[in-house]
Protein backbone atom coordinates (compact mmCIF):
# COMPACT_ATOMS: atom_id res chain seq x y z
CA UNK A 1 0.00 0.00 0.00
CA UNK A 2 2.96 2.28 0.68
CA UNK A 3 5.43 1.41 -2.07
CA UNK A 4 3.21 0.50 -5.04
CA UNK A 5 1.63 3.92 -5.75
CA UNK A 6 4.96 5.65 -5.06
CA UNK A 7 6.80 3.43 -7.57
CA UNK A 8 4.11 3.83 -10.24
CA UNK A 9 4.06 7.62 -9.82
CA UNK A 10 7.84 7.88 -10.18
CA UNK A 11 8.04 5.65 -13.27
CA UNK A 12 4.84 6.47 -15.22
CA UNK A 13 4.60 9.03 -18.06
CA UNK A 14 2.72 12.08 -16.73
CA UNK A 15 -0.12 11.83 -19.29
CA UNK A 16 -1.15 8.33 -18.11
CA UNK A 17 0.06 8.44 -14.50
CA UNK A 18 -3.50 8.76 -13.20
CA UNK A 19 -4.68 5.75 -15.19
CA UNK A 20 -1.81 3.55 -14.07
CA UNK A 21 -2.15 4.37 -10.36
CA UNK A 22 -5.93 4.03 -10.55
CA UNK A 23 -5.40 0.61 -12.13
CA UNK A 24 -3.88 -0.45 -8.80
CA UNK A 25 -7.26 0.15 -7.16
CA UNK A 26 -8.99 -1.56 -10.11
CA UNK A 27 -6.95 -4.75 -9.66
CA UNK A 28 -7.49 -4.69 -5.89
CA UNK A 29 -11.25 -4.65 -6.53
CA UNK A 30 -10.80 -7.33 -9.21
CA UNK A 31 -9.07 -9.49 -6.60
CA UNK A 32 -11.96 -8.89 -4.22
CA UNK A 33 -14.46 -10.00 -6.87
CA UNK A 34 -12.35 -13.12 -7.53
CA UNK A 35 -12.38 -13.79 -3.78
CA UNK A 36 -16.15 -13.42 -3.68
CA UNK A 37 -16.43 -15.80 -6.63
CA UNK A 38 -14.25 -18.47 -5.02
CA UNK A 39 -16.12 -17.95 -1.76
CA UNK A 40 -19.45 -18.57 -3.50
CA UNK A 41 -18.16 -21.95 -4.67
CA UNK A 42 -17.01 -22.86 -1.16
CA UNK A 43 -19.82 -21.30 0.89
CA UNK A 44 -21.29 -24.73 1.74
CA UNK A 45 -17.90 -26.46 2.20
CA UNK A 46 -16.80 -27.18 5.76
CA UNK A 47 -13.75 -24.99 6.57
CA UNK A 48 -13.90 -23.70 2.99
CA UNK A 49 -12.10 -20.50 4.01
CA UNK A 50 -8.87 -22.52 4.22
CA UNK A 51 -9.11 -23.32 0.51
CA UNK A 52 -9.69 -19.64 -0.23
CA UNK A 53 -6.43 -18.72 1.49
CA UNK A 54 -4.66 -21.55 -0.31
CA UNK A 55 -5.91 -20.35 -3.70
CA UNK A 56 -4.24 -16.97 -3.21
CA UNK A 57 -0.79 -18.39 -2.41
CA UNK A 58 0.40 -19.00 -6.02
CA UNK A 59 -0.59 -15.44 -6.95
CA UNK A 60 1.46 -14.05 -4.06
CA UNK A 61 4.47 -16.11 -5.20
CA UNK A 62 4.12 -14.78 -8.76
CA UNK A 63 3.86 -11.22 -7.45
CA UNK A 64 6.96 -11.65 -5.29
CA UNK A 65 8.99 -12.96 -8.24
CA UNK A 66 7.73 -10.12 -10.43
CA UNK A 67 8.87 -7.52 -7.90
CA UNK A 68 12.45 -8.81 -8.09
CA UNK A 69 12.32 -8.23 -11.86
CA UNK A 70 11.19 -4.58 -11.62
CA UNK A 71 13.82 -1.97 -12.55
CA UNK A 72 14.71 0.79 -10.09
CA UNK A 73 12.93 4.13 -10.31
CA UNK A 74 15.02 6.46 -12.53
CA UNK A 75 13.98 9.45 -10.41
CA UNK A 76 15.17 7.71 -7.25
CA UNK A 77 18.52 6.90 -8.88
CA UNK A 78 18.97 10.51 -10.02
CA UNK A 79 18.00 11.77 -6.57
CA UNK A 80 20.79 9.66 -5.06
CA UNK A 81 23.18 11.06 -7.64
CA UNK A 82 22.49 14.75 -6.91
CA UNK A 83 22.60 14.06 -3.17
CA UNK A 84 26.12 12.65 -3.58
CA UNK A 85 25.19 9.04 -2.69
CA UNK A 86 27.00 7.53 -5.68
CA UNK A 87 28.79 8.31 -8.91
CA UNK A 88 26.74 10.76 -11.01
CA UNK A 89 27.86 9.12 -14.27
CA UNK A 90 27.13 5.56 -13.14
CA UNK A 91 23.74 6.39 -11.65
CA UNK A 92 22.79 8.42 -14.74
CA UNK A 93 23.63 5.48 -17.02
CA UNK A 94 21.68 3.12 -14.76
CA UNK A 95 18.71 5.51 -14.82
CA UNK A 96 18.80 5.54 -18.65
CA UNK A 97 18.80 1.71 -18.74
CA UNK A 98 15.91 1.54 -16.25
CA UNK A 99 13.91 4.10 -18.21
CA UNK A 100 14.38 2.08 -21.40
CA UNK A 101 13.15 -1.05 -19.62
CA UNK A 102 10.13 0.81 -18.27
CA UNK A 103 9.09 2.58 -21.48
CA UNK A 104 10.21 -0.02 -24.03
CA UNK A 105 10.37 0.93 -27.70
CA UNK A 106 8.26 4.03 -27.09
CA UNK A 107 11.22 5.86 -25.53
CA UNK A 108 13.45 5.13 -28.55
CA UNK A 109 16.80 6.91 -28.46
CA UNK A 110 15.50 9.77 -26.30
CA UNK A 111 15.96 8.08 -22.91
CA UNK A 112 19.11 10.08 -22.15
CA UNK A 113 17.31 13.34 -23.00
CA UNK A 114 14.44 12.49 -20.64
CA UNK A 115 16.87 11.55 -17.87
CA UNK A 116 18.69 14.87 -18.28
CA UNK A 117 15.35 16.72 -18.11
CA UNK A 118 14.43 14.94 -14.86
CA UNK A 119 17.90 15.67 -13.47
CA UNK A 120 17.56 19.37 -14.30
CA UNK A 121 14.07 19.59 -12.79
CA UNK A 122 15.19 17.86 -9.59
CA UNK A 123 18.01 20.38 -9.22
CA UNK A 124 15.71 23.37 -9.90
CA UNK A 125 13.19 22.36 -7.20
CA UNK A 126 15.95 21.81 -4.67
CA UNK A 127 15.86 18.04 -4.37
CA UNK A 128 19.61 17.95 -3.79
CA UNK A 129 18.99 18.75 -0.13
CA UNK A 130 18.21 15.73 2.01
CA UNK A 131 15.08 16.25 4.09
CA UNK A 132 15.03 15.90 7.85
CA UNK A 133 12.08 14.47 9.75
CA UNK A 134 11.15 17.89 11.17
CA UNK A 135 11.18 19.41 7.66
CA UNK A 136 8.28 17.14 6.70
CA UNK A 137 6.11 19.39 8.89
CA UNK A 138 7.34 22.70 7.44
CA UNK A 139 6.74 24.81 4.34
CA UNK A 140 5.81 23.08 1.09
CA UNK A 141 6.36 19.71 2.76
CA UNK A 142 3.65 20.54 5.29
CA UNK A 143 1.29 21.62 2.50
CA UNK A 144 1.84 18.31 0.68
CA UNK A 145 1.24 16.42 3.93
CA UNK A 146 -1.94 18.41 4.58
CA UNK A 147 -3.29 17.58 1.11
CA UNK A 148 -2.26 13.92 1.11
CA UNK A 149 -3.08 13.02 4.72
CA UNK A 150 -6.28 15.10 4.58
CA UNK A 151 -7.57 13.19 1.56
CA UNK A 152 -6.94 9.73 3.00
CA UNK A 153 -8.34 10.84 6.38
CA UNK A 154 -11.61 11.99 4.79
CA UNK A 155 -11.55 8.81 2.68
CA UNK A 156 -12.16 6.88 5.91
CA UNK A 157 -14.07 9.22 8.25
CA UNK A 158 -16.80 9.78 5.66
CA UNK A 159 -17.93 6.30 6.73
CA UNK A 160 -16.48 4.01 4.08
CA UNK A 161 -15.71 1.14 6.48
CA UNK A 162 -19.03 1.49 8.30
CA UNK A 163 -21.21 1.68 5.19
CA UNK A 164 -19.64 -1.49 3.82
CA UNK A 165 -19.86 -3.27 7.19
CA UNK A 166 -23.51 -2.23 7.42
CA UNK A 167 -24.25 -3.40 3.87
CA UNK A 168 -25.24 -6.88 5.12
CA UNK A 169 -28.08 -5.57 7.31
CA UNK A 170 -29.25 -3.21 4.57
CA UNK A 171 -29.39 -6.09 2.11
CA UNK A 172 -31.10 -8.34 4.66
CA UNK A 173 -33.82 -5.72 5.10
CA UNK A 174 -34.34 -5.90 1.33
CA UNK A 175 -34.89 -9.65 1.52
CA UNK A 176 -31.39 -11.09 1.01
CA UNK A 177 -31.15 -13.03 4.25
CA UNK A 178 -29.61 -16.42 3.44
CA UNK A 179 -25.85 -17.00 3.36
CA UNK A 180 -26.05 -17.98 -0.31
CA UNK A 181 -28.05 -14.81 -1.05
CA UNK A 182 -25.46 -12.66 0.75
CA UNK A 183 -22.65 -14.30 -1.22
CA UNK A 184 -24.35 -13.67 -4.55
CA UNK A 185 -25.08 -10.06 -3.62
CA UNK A 186 -21.45 -9.63 -2.55
CA UNK A 187 -20.36 -10.74 -6.02
CA UNK A 188 -22.77 -8.28 -7.65
CA UNK A 189 -21.64 -5.48 -5.33
CA UNK A 190 -18.02 -6.31 -6.14
CA UNK A 191 -18.72 -6.27 -9.88
CA UNK A 192 -20.44 -2.89 -9.50
CA UNK A 193 -17.38 -1.53 -7.64
CA UNK A 194 -15.16 -2.92 -10.40
CA UNK A 195 -17.20 -1.21 -13.13
CA UNK A 196 -17.16 2.16 -11.35
CA UNK A 197 -13.42 1.90 -10.68
CA UNK A 198 -12.91 1.06 -14.36
CA UNK A 199 -14.78 4.22 -15.32
CA UNK A 200 -12.49 6.23 -13.03
CA UNK A 201 -9.43 4.63 -14.68
CA UNK A 202 -10.69 5.62 -18.13
CA UNK A 203 -11.51 9.26 -17.35
CA UNK A 204 -9.06 10.33 -14.60
CA UNK A 205 -6.42 11.66 -17.00
CA UNK A 206 -9.05 13.22 -19.25
CA UNK A 207 -11.27 14.95 -16.68
CA UNK A 208 -8.71 15.47 -13.93
CA UNK A 209 -8.57 14.67 -10.23
CA UNK A 210 -10.67 17.51 -8.82
CA UNK A 211 -13.80 16.94 -10.96
CA UNK A 212 -13.91 13.26 -10.00
CA UNK A 213 -13.38 14.09 -6.33
CA UNK A 214 -15.96 16.88 -6.24
CA UNK A 215 -18.56 14.94 -8.24
CA UNK A 216 -18.04 11.63 -6.44
CA UNK A 217 -18.02 13.07 -2.93
CA UNK A 218 -21.18 15.08 -3.74
CA UNK A 219 -22.88 11.77 -4.58
CA UNK A 220 -21.59 10.30 -1.30
CA UNK A 221 -23.15 13.21 0.61
CA UNK A 222 -26.53 12.51 -0.98
CA UNK A 223 -26.30 8.77 -0.31
CA UNK A 224 -25.31 9.23 3.36
CA UNK A 225 -28.26 11.56 4.02
CA UNK A 226 -30.56 9.09 2.24
CA UNK A 227 -29.27 6.26 4.47
CA UNK A 228 -29.78 8.41 7.55
CA UNK A 229 -33.33 9.23 6.47
CA UNK A 230 -34.03 5.56 5.82
CA UNK A 231 -33.15 4.54 9.38
CA UNK A 232 -35.05 7.45 10.97
CA UNK A 233 -38.09 8.04 8.77
CA UNK A 234 -38.36 5.49 5.94
CA UNK A 235 -37.66 2.04 7.37
CA UNK A 236 -40.42 0.63 5.18
CA UNK A 237 -38.54 1.55 2.01
CA UNK A 238 -35.61 -0.89 1.81
CA UNK A 239 -35.32 -0.35 -1.94
CA UNK A 240 -34.25 3.25 -1.24
CA UNK A 241 -31.63 2.00 1.22
CA UNK A 242 -30.20 -0.40 -1.35
CA UNK A 243 -30.18 2.39 -3.96
CA UNK A 244 -28.39 4.70 -1.48
CA UNK A 245 -25.87 1.95 -0.73
CA UNK A 246 -25.13 1.46 -4.43
CA UNK A 247 -24.87 5.23 -4.94
CA UNK A 248 -22.37 5.48 -2.08
CA UNK A 249 -20.25 2.58 -3.35
CA UNK A 250 -20.27 3.85 -6.94
CA UNK A 251 -19.39 7.44 -6.01
CA UNK A 252 -16.67 6.29 -3.60
CA UNK A 253 -15.05 4.18 -6.33
CA UNK A 254 -15.14 7.17 -8.68
CA UNK A 255 -13.55 9.51 -6.15
CA UNK A 256 -11.88 8.70 -2.85
CA UNK A 257 -11.19 5.06 -3.77
CA UNK A 258 -8.68 5.56 -6.61
CA UNK A 259 -8.03 9.32 -6.41
CA UNK A 260 -6.98 9.32 -2.75
CA UNK A 261 -4.13 6.89 -3.47
CA UNK A 262 -3.30 8.69 -6.72
CA UNK A 263 -2.95 12.08 -5.04
CA UNK A 264 -0.75 10.91 -2.16
CA UNK A 265 1.55 9.20 -4.66
CA UNK A 266 2.14 12.36 -6.71
CA UNK A 267 1.77 15.31 -4.32
CA UNK A 268 4.88 14.75 -2.16
CA UNK A 269 8.28 16.10 -3.30
CA UNK A 270 10.58 13.24 -4.32
CA UNK A 271 13.06 13.58 -1.48
CA UNK A 272 10.33 13.13 1.14
CA UNK A 273 7.93 10.97 -0.87
CA UNK A 274 8.77 7.84 1.13
CA UNK A 275 8.27 9.52 4.52
CA UNK A 276 5.25 11.52 3.37
CA UNK A 277 3.53 8.47 1.89
CA UNK A 278 4.35 6.48 5.02
CA UNK A 279 2.65 9.09 7.22
CA UNK A 280 -0.35 9.25 4.85
CA UNK A 281 -0.76 5.46 4.86
CA UNK A 282 -0.52 5.48 8.67
CA UNK A 283 -3.24 8.14 8.82
CA UNK A 284 -5.38 6.11 6.41
CA UNK A 285 -5.26 2.86 8.35
CA UNK A 286 -5.41 4.63 11.70
CA UNK A 287 -8.61 6.40 10.61
CA UNK A 288 -9.97 3.11 9.26
CA UNK A 289 -9.36 1.45 12.64
CA UNK A 290 -10.91 4.41 14.48
CA UNK A 291 -14.10 4.35 12.40
CA UNK A 292 -14.30 0.55 12.61
CA UNK A 293 -13.95 0.40 16.39
CA UNK A 294 -16.08 3.49 17.07
CA UNK A 295 -18.98 2.55 14.80
CA UNK A 296 -20.77 0.09 17.09
CA UNK A 297 -20.56 2.26 20.27
CA UNK A 298 -21.65 5.35 18.33
CA UNK A 299 -24.49 3.43 16.71
CA UNK A 300 -25.71 2.33 20.15
CA UNK A 301 -25.45 5.89 21.45
CA UNK A 302 -26.77 7.91 18.50
CA UNK A 303 -28.64 5.36 16.41
CA UNK A 304 -27.80 4.37 12.83
CA UNK A 305 -29.75 7.23 11.26
CA UNK A 306 -28.05 10.03 13.20
CA UNK A 307 -24.67 8.39 12.67
CA UNK A 308 -25.13 8.37 8.91
CA UNK A 309 -26.14 12.04 9.12
CA UNK A 310 -22.86 12.69 10.97
CA UNK A 311 -20.94 10.93 8.21
CA UNK A 312 -22.86 13.06 5.69
CA UNK A 313 -21.85 16.26 7.49
CA UNK A 314 -18.20 15.11 7.48
CA UNK A 315 -18.52 14.44 3.75
CA UNK A 316 -19.68 18.05 3.27
CA UNK A 317 -16.55 19.21 5.13
CA UNK A 318 -14.46 16.99 2.84
CA UNK A 319 -16.04 18.72 -0.17
CA UNK A 320 -14.92 22.10 1.19
CA UNK A 321 -11.44 20.68 1.82
CA UNK A 322 -11.21 19.40 -1.78
CA UNK A 323 -12.55 22.65 -3.26
CA UNK A 324 -10.23 25.00 -1.36
CA UNK A 325 -7.11 22.90 -0.65
CA UNK A 326 -6.64 20.10 -3.19
CA UNK A 327 -4.90 21.20 -6.44
CA UNK A 328 -5.34 19.77 -9.93
CA UNK A 329 -2.32 17.68 -10.95
CA UNK A 330 -3.54 16.34 -14.29
CA UNK A 331 -0.82 16.28 -16.96
CA UNK A 332 1.94 17.72 -14.75
CA UNK A 333 5.24 16.00 -14.14
CA UNK A 334 6.09 15.24 -10.52
CA UNK A 335 8.60 18.09 -10.54
CA UNK A 336 6.02 20.50 -12.01
CA UNK A 337 3.56 19.48 -9.27
CA UNK A 338 6.14 20.41 -6.63
CA UNK A 339 6.94 23.72 -8.32
CA UNK A 340 3.38 24.84 -9.16
CA UNK A 341 1.07 23.22 -6.57
CA UNK A 342 3.04 23.44 -3.31
pLDDT tens, position by position, for the chain (342 residues)? Answer: 778 888 999 898 888 999 999 999 899 999 888 888 888 788 778 888 888 888 888 989 999 999 999 999 998 899 888 888 888 899 999 999 999 999 887 777 788 888 988 888 777 765 556 566 777 788 788 899 999 999 999 999 998 877 776 676 677 766 666 555 666 777 888 889 999 999 999 999 999 999 999 999 999 999 999 989 988 888 777 788 888 889 999 999 999 999 999 999 999 887 788 888 889 999 999 999 998 888 889 888 988 889 999 999 999 999 999 999 999 999 888 888 888 887
Q: How far apart are CA 53 and CA 117, in angstroms?
A: 46
CA dihedral 71, 77, 78, 84 (to 10 degrees): -170
Nearest to 255 by CA among 6, 10, 68, 18: 18
Nearest to 107 by CA among 15, 123, 115, 67: 115
Q: How far apart are CA 205 and CA 341, in angstroms?
A: 17
CA dihedral 297, 301, 307, 309 (to 10 degrees): -160
Identify the burial level of 118 via C-beta atoms within 10 angstroms of its C-beta, where 0-12 means exposed, 13-18 middle and 19 or more buried. Answer: buried
Domains and CATH numbers, the chain: 133-341 (1.20.1250.20)
Amino acid sequence: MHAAPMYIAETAPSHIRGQLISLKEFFIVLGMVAGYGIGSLLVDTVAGWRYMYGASTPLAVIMGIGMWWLPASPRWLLLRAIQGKGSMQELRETAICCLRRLRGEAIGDTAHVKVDEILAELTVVGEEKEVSLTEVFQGKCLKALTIGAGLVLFQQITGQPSVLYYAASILQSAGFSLASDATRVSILLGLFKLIMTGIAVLVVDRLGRRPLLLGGVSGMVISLFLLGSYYIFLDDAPVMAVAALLLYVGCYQLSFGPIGWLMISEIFPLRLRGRGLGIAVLVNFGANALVTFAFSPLKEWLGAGILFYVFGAIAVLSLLFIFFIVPETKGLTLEEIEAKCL
